[in-house]
Structure 1
């Protein structure tokens, strides 16, 4: 199995992407992270979905999670009234947030090469080299783990047994 066999098109966000837009991308796509493009549109970084969630929770509650228990549904809803004003750029500029550099892999890299490089880079998403700029393709951590488990189960790359 090669990287090209696992590649998928993922949405790409930018600095100006709002917390609402980023949240929708993650929720609708079941994403583990969000690909971030630079000013020219080239994917250069990854933010974990947890870090994007951080945009949706006020800093004072993150600093003291016990405060979260004093909010009922209405109060919690009021916390989220301004989500459309917060952007991915805030996370990119936050020293407390780990922004991963985009790992680029070759389409013919083997499954073990992809897995090893993703672990070494500590990333959930890798860009497949040579994919079009307007529809870049990526390999995700869940697809790599799923492929490894397929081998482990004795199914092999094409679903054969034995």
Structure 2
């Protein structure tokens, strides 16, 4: 199996993408992260879904998680009111957030090559080289794991108990 066999299109966001837009993309697509493009539209970085979640929770609650217990549903709803004003740029510019440069792999790279490079870079998404700038394609961590498990089961291993 090659990178080209696992490639898919993913949404690409920009710095001005709001927390609400980012959360919708993640929730509706079941995404592990988001691809961030520069001003020219070129994918340049990866932001994990948990970092987007961080954008949705107020800093003072993150600094003292015990505060989360004092909010009832109405109070929590008031916290979400500012989500349409918060943007991905806040995360990209935050030194506490691990924004990773996007790793590019060749379409002919084998499954083990892609897996090893993802682990080395500690990234959940890689770009597959060769696709047009306006419609980039990617390989995701879940697809790599699925392919590894598929290969494993094809070689005669049973799924056994968990």
TM-score range, shorter chain: over 0.9
d(CA) in 1 for partners of 2:59, 2:105 = 36
Instruction: Give the superposition deviation at 1:153.
Output: 1.0
Match of 2:78 in 1: 78
Match of 1:43 in 2: 43
d(CA) in 1 for partners of 2:43, 2:155 = 34
Instruction: Give the superposition deviation at 1:135.
Output: 1.4
Match of 2:159 in 1: none
Matches within 5 A, 1:3-152: 3-152=3-152
d(CA) in 2 for partners of 1:150, 1:12 = 28
Consecutive aligned runs of 4 or more in structure 1 exceeding 4 Å deviation: none
Q: String of CA shifts for 1:41-73, please: whole Å, max 9, x gaps.
A: 000000000000001000010011111111111
What is the TM-score normalised by the length of structure 2?
A: 0.94
d(CA) in 2 for partners of 1:19, 1:25 = 10
d(CA) in 2 for partners of 1:52, 1:155 = 38
> Across the two proteins, how many residue pairs are aligned to each other?
156
Instruction: Give the superposition deviation at 1:23.
Output: 0.4
> Runs of 5+ in structure 1 lacking a partner?
157-162
Instruction: Give the superposition deviation at 1:2.
Output: 0.3
- Give the secondary-structure state (helix, strand or coil) at the position aligned to 2:81: coil
d(CA) in 1 for partners of 2:149, 2:139 = 16
d(CA) in 1 for partners of 2:53, 2:131 = 29
Match of 1:159 in 2: none
d(CA) in 2 for partners of 1:72, 1:149 = 42
d(CA) in 1 for partners of 2:124, 2:117 = 11
d(CA) in 2 for partners of 1:151, 1:66 = 45
Instruction: Give the superposition deviation at 1:152.
Output: 1.1
